[in-house]
Amino acid sequence: TIGELFHTLCEMGFSEEQIQSAVQAGHFSVPDAAEWLLQGENLRHKLVKTPSLPVSTAFAAFNPPKDAGSSCPPSTSHSQTSPNDSRGPSLVLGPPQPSSPSTDPPPLESRIRQDKSDFQEQQRMRVANEARNERRQKKQERELVLKRIAEDRRSLQEKKIQPSAPTETTSPPGSSQGQRLGGTVQTS
Mean predicted confidence (pLDDT) in 153-165: 82
CB 11 within 8 A of CB 71: no
Strands (E), 46-142: 47-50, 90-93
Indicate if the pLDDT at residue 118 is higher than 50.
Answer: yes
Indicate if the pLDDT at residue 47 is higher than 90.
Answer: no
Domain boundary residue, one of 46, 64, 93 = 93
Residue 115 sits in the same domain as residue 58? no
What is the pLDDT of the chain when averaged over all its residues?
Answer: 71
Number of structural domains (the chain) is 2
Flag whether 99 is in a domain: no
Flag whether 70 is in a domain: yes
HSE-CB of 125 using CA atoms within 13 angstroms: 6
Residue 74 sits in the same domain as residue 137? no
Domain span holding position 154: 107-162
SS3 for 186? strand
CB 178 within 8 A of CB 186: yes
What letter would DSSP give residue 183?
Answer: T
| Other Cβ atoms within 10 Å of 25 Cβ, number | 14
Flag whether 174 is in a domain: no
Give the residue, 127 or 181, on which the prediction is more confident: 127
Mean predicted confidence (pLDDT) in 171-183: 54
Residue 15 sits in the same domain as residue 59? yes
Domain boundary residue, one of 37, 60, 93 = 93
Q: What is the pLDDT of residues 20-30, one digit of tens each?
A: 888 888 888 89
Residue 6 sits in the same domain as residue 46? yes
Residue 68 sits in the same domain as residue 14? yes
Percent share of the chain, pLDDT over 90: 21
